[in-house]
Structure 1
Amino acid sequence: MRNLTFAMNLSLDGYIAAPGDGLGWGVSSDELFQWWSDRVGSTDLALYGRKLWETMSSHWPTADQQPGATPAQIEYAGRWREMPKVVFSSTISTVDWNARLVTYDAVAEITRLKADDGGRMDIGGATLASAAMRAGLIDEYVLVTHPVLVGGGTPFFTALDNWVNLSLVEIRTFPNDVVVARYETRR
């Protein structure tokens, strides 16, 4: 059975996007970018909601060909293109870049994918992750917390019907006061 992880950058007040879908609040560093790149390189399958897919697929497929692309950006772009992806959406009709589109019940498909053999799956996108969260499908939460308060926007956590008990398994700090906390779901 596969492990499903929800990992995203978030503000200290718990938002993955500021009002108006703003993402410019993150404070990156070379070390944090490399951490994300290594994570992509070790992900067996990435699950994307439509909005996150549109954000990622509008930049990373050709980011390594842009003037001034750093070696780290070139590495990340290649890893992102090679990583198998499943995009969940009822409003788009095609996807590319080593991805397949699922237009039916996301929870049923995620449950099926978790039952398969294989390595870690990452899930991203607020709406998709919240459906998986409410269904009890997420095994691990990775909060990459940036030292900024954005005051509203798209929350990392959704309203739940039941508590989810977690165990802290790792905490790591990065430059610019970014903290990564990794929690496993206690079942």
Structure 2
Amino acid sequence: MAAHRKLAFAMNVSLDGYTTTHGDDLGWSVPSDEVFQWWSDRVAATGTALYGRKIWENMSSHWPTADQQPGATAAHVEFAKRWRGMPKVVFSSTTRPVDWNTRLVTGDAVAEIRRLKAEDGRPIDMCGATLAATAMRHGLIDEYAIITHPVLVGGGTPFFTALDNWVNLSLVETRTFAGGITLTRYETRR
């Protein structure tokens, strides 16, 4: 198999497996300083981030100017700068326009993700459960990074989608953060 950029799907998840609640509420997943730093370091190491429409709208409504807001912490300033500088791709047929080192893809997401993976470069992170569901069904995800929060939200957008076939995974990292938040990282066994 030819070398390729690793594609990871990484998100905050409730203990019952949801990335957002009904109504797209994310209030349960506000990260501690320690978890926020983990996310910031991940952004710094990411070559390209792939976003679905909903998470793009959420991120782009805050991070472009978060470092200029009154009371912005040093960690928020650092994250905002890293986020703006990181190359981003938004997959949407309705979102217009995009900015902040971002380009829009309105066509075939699977073909574009395959093309990006075939390029040389640093790893790719995917954000957004709907976009990730498409990539999962096509066997494109190489790693799952799950930040599990100790809360049951009862429904919403699931982290994992229904699949036609099993996907065997190998555990490569576990970490516990304050407040009972855990990181588990799995790589896809091919």
What is the TM-score normalised by the length of structure 2?
A: 0.97
Q: 3-state DSSP class of the match of 1:90?
A: coil
Q: 3-state DSSP class of the match of 2:62?
A: coil
TM-superposed CA distance for 1:94, in Å, is: 1.6
Matches of 2:130 and 2:173, distance apart in 1:
26
Residue equivalent to 2:11: 8
> Which among 69, 82, 85 is matched to residue 66 of structure 1?
69
Task: Give CA-to-partner distance per residue, 1:122-166, whole Å, 9 cap, x none.
Answer: 011111110000000000000100000000000000000110000
Residue equivalent to 2:108: 105
Unaligned runs of 5+ in 1: none
Matched, 1:83 2:55: no
TM-superposed CA distance for 1:29, in Å, is: 1.3
Matched, 1:129 2:126: no
Root-mean-square deviation (Å): 0.7
> Which among 160, 170, 181 is matched to residue 167 of structure 1?
170
What does 1:140-151 align with in structure 2 at a 5 Å threshold?
140-151=143-154
Aligned residues: percent identity?
73
TM-superposed CA distance for 1:19, in Å, is: 1.2
Matched, 1:138 2:141: yes
Contact 1:27 1:178 in 2 (8 A): no
Matches of 1:27 and 1:44, distance apart in 2:
25
Q: Write the letter of the residue equivalent to 1:152.
A: G
What is the TM-score normalised by the length of structure 1?
A: 0.99
TM-superposed CA distance for 1:27, in Å, is: 4.9
Matched, 1:43 2:24: no
